[in-house]
Amino acid sequence: MIKFILNEKEIATDLPSGFLLLDFVRYQKHLTGTKIGCREGDCGACTVLVGDVVNGEMEYRSMTSCLLPLGNVQFKHVVTVEGINLEKLNPIQQFMSDEGATQCGFCTPGFVVSLSGFCLSKEAPTYENAITSIDGNICRCTGYKSIERATAKIAQLMQQKKDGENQIEFVTKHHILPNYFSEIKNRLEGLRENNSEDSSKKKNRKILGGGTDLYVQQHETMVHTDIHFLFNEPILKGVKVSGDKCYIGAAATVTDILKSDAFKKHFPRTTSHIKLVSSTPIRNMATVAGNFVNASPIGDLSIFFLALDAQLMLTDGNKKRKIALRKFYKGYKDLDKSPEEYIEYIEFNLPKKNSFFNFEKVSKRTHLDIASVNTACLLEINNGYIESASLSAGGVGPIPMYLANASSYLVGKELSAENFSAAIQIATEEISPMSDARGSKEYKTLLLQQLIKAHFVSLFPELNFEKLMID
């Protein structure tokens, strides 16, 4: 049985763990405020909040229920738009109404739920963070200015919260969200204590992380499948630092990286880089290991960690073995991994003080889109010379590519436009892009050249590499 709390009610269902939450709340529980839109996690009309007890406190994150299987809400709190209703409009709903931030109303529940998540978050109550909370919600008819005005009022309301005041206490005390939210933590802890899953039943199940891409590709198969979700394994979560190494649990999400103090310290541009990866609700669900195993030639995190020479710890539950991410991809969607194996954790050496990292991505839309081409770069510089170099690229071959020849060429070279220009040409000879819906092979080749140039321009603006010539 899958058990969780849906709004105020405890739920138990024997549906397959792969069955989607969107269809469950609409067709099983008749909560039709959660809308069906794209079914690809793109529009945000089906957004819900998922709450869990993390380090002794409730933590809520927005997720798109069209890609969220029931197995991933086991022992958690699911909040639909019906679950935030008071006897009259709550302030979030009222501000949306006052500012005329709705026309057809189809997208409005998703916006309201996402903004409720902002009110429950520990992020600073700034207008910028409020806007970020709705970056996965699309409106086709109202126009965003009225929504932005409503969002500004919500941010101002949350700024009344005193430092150190608990979010749930604040939103319930000021009648922003219903009082039952204050009871959820104890209810979830009781639900876990009284229920445990038989570990033997996990055997022979399909193993999955967040499933944000697989459910788009194989929807009809996945919803009828009984799945063991690594997403719910506490031992596989988190980002930890030990000495000069960083360890990332296979079930850590993209948001976990975005919020990680270790990444903020060692990768100062983490926020700008990670915000190029999908939207907030998808980042809240998508796992790092899932991005690797999905093996998309343009997987953003695959490209990111190829440049860091990440190592994967694989296990089948008994035996373990370590393999470099650079050797993990044997061909298109072909991995050096047996069907029984899954990634337990990822490790890599933290960049040294004299290291420089950058990630670039171009897609048809600036955000919420799959890359046409993406690339990452890590350079270690000493006295104006390159001691080590790593370049990776996606969208220019059948697998996520480590550009070994271009990387090797740069080692020992002086920081100069001539050497970078030569490295770009070498990279061009390593790739084998294909023409497809995201661009011709000629376009992708030129795009990679320009993005590698962007690495150098971004990392070393004082050296005037804007004039770097590309043939």
Assess whether pLDDT exceeds 80 at residue 382. Answer: yes
The reported pLDDT for the residue numbered 229 is 75
Calculate ∠ Cα 76-202-11, nearest 5°.
30
| Mean pLDDT calculated for residue range 128-133 | 96
Q: Where are the beta strands (DSSP E) in 65-122?
A: 77-79
Tell me the C-alpha distance between 115 and 333, whole Å. 38
Q: What percent of the chain has pLDDT over 70?
A: 96
| Mean pLDDT calculated for residue range 51-59 | 94
Assess whether pLDDT exceeds 50 at residue 200. Answer: no
Look up residue 226 and give its DSSP letter: -
The reported pLDDT for the residue numbered 28 is 97
Query: Cα 293 to chain center, whole Å?
Result: 15
| Mean pLDDT calculated for residue range 274-296 | 93
Q: Which residues pair with 246 in a beta bridge?
A: 241, 348
Among 121-130, 231-240, 441-450, which is the least confidently predicted range?
231-240
Report whether 4 contacts 21 (CB < 8 A).
no
Residue 233: pLDDT band with limits 50, 70, 90: confident
Assess whether pLDDT exceeds 50 at residue 111. Answer: yes
pLDDT: which is higher, 219 or 5: 5
SS3 324: strand
Sign of the four-CA dihedral 323, 326, 330, 332? positive
Enumerate residues 6+ apart whose C-beta is below 8 A from 258. Answer: 270, 271, 274, 275, 283
The reported pLDDT for the residue numbered 72 is 92
Assess whether pLDDT exceeds 70 at residue 156. Answer: yes
Tell me the C-alpha distance between 3 and 341, whole Å. 28
Assess whether pLDDT exceeds 60 at residue 198. Answer: no
Tell me the C-alpha distance between 218 and 39, whole Å. 12
Tell me the C-alpha distance between 66 and 19, whole Å. 10
The reported pLDDT for the residue numbered 361 is 95
Among 101-115, 222-236, 240-254, 258-272, which is the least confidently predicted range?
222-236
| Mean pLDDT calculated for residue range 106-110 | 96
Q: Which residues pair with 228 in a beta bridge?
A: 207
pLDDT: which is higher, 164 or 22: 22
Report whether 420 contacts 346 (CB < 8 A).
no
| Mean pLDDT calculated for residue range 73-99 | 97
Among 168-172, 270-274, 407-411, which is the least confidently predicted range?
270-274
Assess whether pLDDT exceeds 60 at residue 471. Answer: no
Tell me the C-alpha distance between 153 and 159, whole Å. 10
Q: Which two tokens stand for residue 343?
A: 């990634």
Tell me the C-alpha distance between 72 and 21, whole Å. 9
Residue 140: pLDDT band with limits 50, 70, 90: confident
Number of residues written out for the chain: 471
- Give per-residue burial for 161-177: e unless 16+ CB within 10 Å, then b: beeeeebbebbbeeebb
SS3 358: strand
The reported pLDDT for the residue numbered 392 is 98
Report the chain's mean pLDDT, rounded to a whole number. 92
Q: Which two tokens stand for residue 348?
A: 């890599």
Percent of residues in the chain assigned helix, strand, coil, to nearest 5: 40, 20, 40
Tell me the C-alpha distance between 189 and 199, whole Å. 20
